[in-house]
Homo-oligomer: A and B are copies of this chain.
Amino acid sequence: MKTKPSLAVLGGTGDLGSGLALRWLEAGYAVVIGSRDREKAAAACVQLRGTLAERGIDDVKLTDMDNVAAADAADIVVLTVPFSHQQSTLAAVKDHLNGKILVDVTVPLVPPKVGTVQLPPSGSAGQAAQAFLGDSVRVVSAFQNVAADHLKSGHELNCDVLVCGNDPEARTAVVTLVEACGMRGFQAGPISNAAAAEALTSVLITINRQFKCHAGIRITGV
């Protein structure tokens, strides 16, 4: 059996990042919470340990670091910062990503109209990340359509995850991470297809506003 890769969640102090970290910790992965501000990362870890302790889980592999140290320490790096910080965060950690998988979770929402699709000139945040990092980093886009509230809850997740990236092996590794969270991951094509999942987030926000809910998607007919 393969050992589990270690994970760094950059921007792991946010709702989505800590929700993902929670699921991975429950599944036995070693997780580093990264933040620009190490103290915030430490505070997020205290909260995560508290939530897990309430669920009867005390023995977790969880540490806090600043983003650069976190990216350096982990096998797979997960980026969950707001879109406006995507570029600056990648610039800070770029030198520590060589040969690694970068899971891009950012969604190019442009406030205040976050319910309106406004994809960037590069086509998608995923493509922007891949273009910026170059071929030595395998960018895989995922988790854009999962509500943080659902991740943080202990309940079963009723949504699927679209996994896009140019490297099939990297996509497969990320599908495994999706399954570790308790969801189905679909290999959804090259990194340019990240546009679909990213655009869908604004659609889901529009639906959430109508129904006061946290909507997701399921692939049917498979």
Contact = CB atoms under 8 A, between A and B. Distances in A.
Interface in A182-219: 186-190, 192-193, 195-197, 199-200, 202-204, 206-207, 210-211, 213-219
Main secondary structure of the interface of A (DSSP, over half): mixed
Given A116-B189, A189-B202, A202-B189, A219 B196 contact: no
**For chain A, which range describes its interface: under 10, 10 to 19, 20 to 34, or 35 or more residues?**
35 or more
A68 interface: no
Interface string A115-127: 1111100010000
A25 B115 CA distance: 35
Contacts of A221: 147, 150, 158-159, 213-216
A119 B215 contact: no
Interface of A: 115-119, 123, 147, 150, 158-159, 162, 164, 186-190, 192-193, 195-197, 199-200, 202-204, 206-207, 210-211, 213-222
Closest 7 CB pairs of A and B: A196-B199, A189-B206, A218-B218, A188-B203, A158-B220, A196-B203, A215-B221
